[in-house]
Amino acid sequence: MGWILLRDAVYLLAFASDAYALAAIIAADRFFGRAQASSSSDFTPAVSILKPIRGLDRESYENYASFCRQDYPEFEILFCVSDRTDPAVPVIERLVREFPERPIRLLVGAEPLGASDKVNKLCRMAREARHEIIVVTDSDVRVEAGFLRSVGGAFRDPRVGGVTCLYRGLTDGTFPATLEALGNSTDFAPGVLVAWMLAGGKLDFMLGAVMATTKQRLAEIGGFESLVDYFCDDYELGNRLAARGYRVELSPVPVDIVYPRETLGQAFRHQLRWNLSIRYSRPWGHLGLVFTQILVWSLAGLFLTRSWLGELGFAAGYAFLRYEMALSAGARGMRDKLVRRKPAILWLRDLFAFFVWISSFFPQRIHWRGREFYVRGKRLVPASPPGS
pLDDT tens figures, 77-104: 999 999 999 999 999 999 999 999 999 9
Q: What is the pLDDT of residues 274-290, one digit of tens each?
A: 898 888 888 888 999 99
Phi and psi angles of residue 323, each rounded to the nearest 5 degrees, phi first: -65, -40
Whole-number pLDDT of residue 386 = 53
For residue 182, the one-letter residue type is L
Listed in sequence order, the residues at least 6 apart from 312 whose beta carbon sits closer than 8 Å to its beta carbon are: none
Whether the CB-CB separation of 371 and 289 falls below 8 Å is answered with: no
Q: Tell whether the model's pLDDT for residue 2 goes beyond 90.
A: no
371 strand-pairing partners: 368
CA distances to 138, 139, 147, 350 from 80, in Å = 12, 11, 21, 37
pLDDT digits (tens, 9 = 90+) for 205-245: 999 999 999 999 999 999 999 999 988 899 999 999 999 99
Domain residue extents for the chain: 32-43+132-283+363-382
Give the integer Cα–Cα distance in Å for 118 and 163. 19
* Phi, psi of 82, rounded to the nearest 5 degrees: -75, -40
pLDDT given for residue 385 in this prediction: 58
Task: Give CA torsion, residues 357, 360, 361, 366, to 10 deg.
Answer: -170
Residue 179 near residue 352, CB atoms below 8 Å: yes
What pLDDT, on a 0 to 100 scale, did the predictor assign at position 372? Answer: 73
Q: List the Cα angle 200/205/208 in 5-degree steps.
A: 135
pTM of this structure: 0.91
Burial code of 14-29, b = ≥16 C-beta within 10 A, e = fewer?
bebbbebbebbbebbe
pLDDT mean over 321-347: 94
Q: Tell me, what's the pLDDT at 388?
A: 47
- What is the maximum alpha-carbon separation in the chain? 75
